[in-house]
Amino acid sequence: MSEETKVVTSGNAPDSEEYSLNDDRRVKVLTPGALVAKRFFRNRLAIIGLVMLIAMFMFSFVGGIITPYGQAEIFYTYEMMEKEYVGVTRNDAIRYLVAEEQEFPTLAQAQFVLALNTGKTEFSYGDVDYTFTDEGGDLYSIYAGDELRAAAYKDIVNAADGEAQLPFIAKHAALLAYVNGEDAFTADGASYTLDADGNILRGGKEVGYISRFVVQSKENGVVITRDFKERLEEALETDDEDFIYNDPDGTEHTYRITYDASAKVWSVMQETPTYVSVKYGQPSWEHLLGTDGNGMDMLTRLMYGGRVSLIIGFIVVGIETVLGIIMGGVSGYFGGWVDNLIMRIVDVFYCIPSTPIIIILGAAMDSMQVDPQIRMLYLMLLLGFLGWPGVARMVRGQILSLREQEFMTATEACGISVSHRIFKHLIPNVIPQLIVISTMGLGSVILTEATLSFLGLGVKFPFASWGNIISDVNNSFVMTNYWFVWIPAGICLLITVLGFNFVGDGLRDAFDPKMKR
């Protein structure tokens, strides 16, 4: 019989060929990696977790590229908003009008009020003796000897639109004519007329008017016209709550009047189109998940936030793994005093209160106004530096059992260097356990970052993370009325952490099938 024997089998395939027992093609051999993959893909929960992670990676990294918006792009719109246009007071306090090139200081004014309240008609200040005359209608003429120095009044002489202020003598004469009911007066060589509405005319042209209302604009550069003041005074005299006024350019505005009794001030509110950010905008076709409190697109912030959270998770786990492998590998291989020293260092790290340290460093970076990008780098380094002891202990425990096996004796006999024994022969045998612990640790790191960002200690604006997105819910009103701000970020966190846990469990079962029993 030849070495390769052909056998005809019974049934429907008389010409089929079978191979001898020593033919390599007879048995399909799976590599260890393929065997692990086969076990992993048989685990339904692991597959579900893998799908969840792929979806979140596509959402965060591909979605951030596709979206037309930037993560810090603010959207604006025009809204009709009420703004305080003018403030109005009725002048019930005595004011003073001082003649040109004369002085009537504050202490002299106080002496005048004291004399007025005590029924006197004269008073002194410094070396000057004053007398005053009650002209009626809350108007007083104040003299120093025979010279008119000042006037105390409550009715105010205002310049007409586009006109210069009248001189002192003209204002005094106008007030005197107004309280005496006269319709004309002469001052400084000019003749003036005064109508029943308090308008002051010179040569038929309005140069001023008298009113007790003081109208002050609340916006810089806005000039309040006489026509507007008259319309406002009419509304105040009839106790109207609002009035309509057409601007000189023909634009119609509705003004609302409110009165502050404690300050005795009327506030005139004007509705104007204002360019404002779209804060907490409801979901729409333009913004599928609405906008946040800064007017930024929530869907875009979620995408970029996922990218930041995932990158931080992988970098932190990478730092933990590298430090853990080095320290655990050296500790497990050498043993003795080296092992004792490194394990005591591990114990010290376990005793460090990480949360207070992070809070203190976060507050310090806030006070120093550290750049958000640098702050994010510090956060990753800090979390990685505090998290390596768990990986080091696991690596040490595995190497303690592996270093006594025959293949390690063979490496010694072959004269392979210590570093090659540790990192080329021992560490590769720990890789399966490292993959499992790293995968399951990713979820914990992402949750830690989210918690720190929620507390204001992690990722800072303008960068987005799922944690600082949720931190926008700073009161119960936002939480109950703007669900689209925090629920999607919470769902993304849930899906990602759950996916990493499912994949970690699946990898653990695939590498060590006995764990299922």
pLDDT value for 58 = 93
SS (H, E, C) 15-70: CCCCCCCCCHHHCCCCCHHHHHHHHHHHCHHHHHHHHHHHHHHHHHHHHHHHCCCC
Domain ranges of the chain: 32-75+286-516, 93-154
Looking from the CA of 376 toward its CB, the CA atoms found within 13 Å total 20
Q: Any idea which architecture 32-75+286-516 has in CATH?
A: Orthogonal Bundle (1.10)
What is the per-residue pLDDT across 415-436, written as a single tens digit (0 to 9) for each?
Answer: 777 777 777 777 777 877 788 7
Rounded Cα distance between 373 and 364, Å, is: 16
Q: How far is CA 223 from CA 213, 218, 235, 236, 390, in A?
A: 16, 10, 20, 20, 72
Angle at 391 between CA 388 and CA 396, to 5 degrees: 120
**Residue ranges, the chain, pLDDT below 70:** 1-30, 32, 221, 412, 512-517
Q: What tokens appear for 352 in the block? A: 């460090």
Q: Are 122 and 132 in contact (CB under 8 A)?
A: yes
What is the per-residue pLDDT across 48-59, written as a single tens digit (0 to 9) for each?
Answer: 999 999 999 999
Residue 185 bridge partners (DSSP): 192
pLDDT value for 504 = 84
pLDDT value for 203 = 84
The two beta strands, 205-211 and 156-159, are antiparallel
**DSSP conformational letter for 384:** H
Q: What tokens appear for 194 in the block? A: 């005064």
- Scanning 403-426, the segments in alpha helix (DSSP H) are 406-413, 418-420
Cβ neighbours around 322 below 10 Å, total: 13
